[in-house]
Amino acid sequence: VQGGQTALLMFAWQDADSKLRVVVAGSGGGIGRALVDALLERPGVARIYALTRRPDEGAAADSRLEQRQVDIGSDDALEALAASMSEPLDLVIVASGALHSETFAPERRSRDLNAATMLEVLRINTVVPALIGKHLLPLLDKRRPAVFAALSARVGSIGDNRLGGWTSYRASKAALNMVLRNFAIEYGRSHPRAIVAGLHPGTVDTELSKPFTGRVPAEQLFTPAHSAACLLDVIDGLKPEDSGGVFAWDGQPIPY
Ligand SMILES: NC(=O)c1ccc[n+]([C@@H]2O[C@H](COP(=O)([O-])OP(=O)(O)OC[C@H]3O[C@@H](n4cnc5c(N)ncnc54)[C@H](OP(=O)(O)O)[C@@H]3O)[C@@H](O)[C@H]2O)c1
């Protein structure tokens, strides 16, 4: 994978004559919104379905952008969404996720663990992307290259974990990586040109990271726009043999 390229008009894996149909789930989040904006800069993109809990009144006025208010945690809602899509998809990016909320915070140590919180974090970060894959992977065109990417996190790497803490979030992202690997194997059989990958966006200045970025040096804290540009560069460089892997914002693979 090559990161850091200047933004291309079309993805490297895209067939020259194809017009991309894209889904961004969690499009109201910091990185999700920046991804939608960056994708709208690309003339190769024909349609963006932006899935969100609350449609954004201030979203870019662009006829290619279609906001859909969808409960991405609902099997039924995702089934209805998939049934409403008449054309095959080329790129699905799951940009939803949670580290904290009004009711929970990441655990510092094991005695902070709480069953309800752990289940909720696993639901949001693992079950939701899995359900999105269940309903949208079948919409990828078998004949064309396509990418299904979900935002994971470096802290979901078991091999890279030397600090501990954040058990629910770490476990939810490690489990997400396994879900993605399974999707890659299954769809590698039926859709040989499809690529499934996890992406680490860097440490990005969003609501999700806000309570935890106090000690992050300014140069290591990305704007959502910078992260989105890097992530699209990484997606640009993905090859079928990368399917099932997890890659950082600079294209470097992250160990499981
Ligand atoms: N920011 C970072 O430093 C960082 C680092 C590593 C990984 N990540 C990952 O990057 C992804 C995006 O994070 P972000 O920084 O953009 O966070 P964010 O600004 O908080 O956005 C996350 C979005 O996820 C959706 N979401 C959150 N809770 C949900 C729930 N219970 N049900 C359904 N949707 C829910 C919402 O989308 P809608 O508003 O559209 O409904 C929300 O706006 C996450 O998976 C996160 O783990 C972020």
Summarised one tens digit per residue, pLDDT across range 161-200 is 999 999 999 999 999 999 999 999 999 999 999 999 999 9
Question: Ligand 1 centroid to 112 CA: how many Å?
Answer: 22
H or E element at residue 67: strand 65-69
Least reliable range by pLDDT among 1-5, 8-12, 118-122, 208-212: 1-5
Closest ligand 1 atom, residue 204 Cα: 3
- The answer to whether 176 and 226 have CB atoms below 8 angstroms apart is no
* Number of neighbours of residue 188 by Cβ within 10 angstroms: 16
Q: How sure is the predictor about 8, in pLDDT bands with cuts at 50, 70 and 90?
A: very low
Confidence grade of residue 229 (pLDDT, cut at 50, 70, 90):
very high
With bands split at pLDDT 50, 70 and 90, how would you rate the model's confidence at 59?
A: confident
Q: Please choose from 23, 24, 35, 53 the residue to mutate so as to test ligand 1's pocket, defined by most ligand atoms within 8 A of CB.
A: 53
Question: Does residue 201's CB lie within 6 angstroms of at least one atom of ligand 1?
Answer: yes
81-124 tens-digit pLDDT: 999 998 999 999 999 999 999 999 999 999 999 999 999 999 99
The answer to whether 192 and 240 have CB atoms below 8 angstroms apart is yes
Per-residue pLDDT, averaged over 232-255, amounts to: 96
Residue 50 has pLDDT above 80, yes or no: yes
Q: 68 in ligand 1 pocket by Cβ < 6 Å?
A: no
Question: 138-149 burial string, b = 16+ CB within 10 Å, else e?
Answer: ebbbeebbbbbb
- 2 pLDDT above the threshold of 50: no
**pLDDT the model gives residue 10:** 65
Q: How far apart are CA 107 and CA 86, in angstroms?
A: 43
DSSP 90-154: SEEEE----S--SS----SSGGG--HHHHHHHHIIIIIHHHHHHHHHGGGB-SSS-EEEEEE--G
Mean pLDDT is lowest, of 3-7, 76-80, 236-240, for 3-7
Average pLDDT over residues 202-226: 94
Q: Is the model's pLDDT at 5 over the cut of 70?
A: no
Q: What percent of the chain has pLDDT over 90?
A: 84
Q: Is the CB of 124 under 6 A from ligand 1?
A: yes
Instruction: Kindly give the number of the ligand 1 atom that is closest to the alpha carbon of 120.
Output: 31
| Cβ–Cβ under 8 Å, residues 135 and 81 | yes
- In the chain, the amino acid numbered 224 is P
Residue 124 Cα to ligand 1 middle (Å):
9
User: From ligand 1's centre to the CA of 96, what distance in Å?
Assistant: 4
* pLDDT at 204 exceeding the cut of 60: yes
State whether the beta carbon of 52 lies less than 6 angstroms from ligand 1: yes
- Ligand 1 close to Cβ of residue 209 (< 6 A): yes
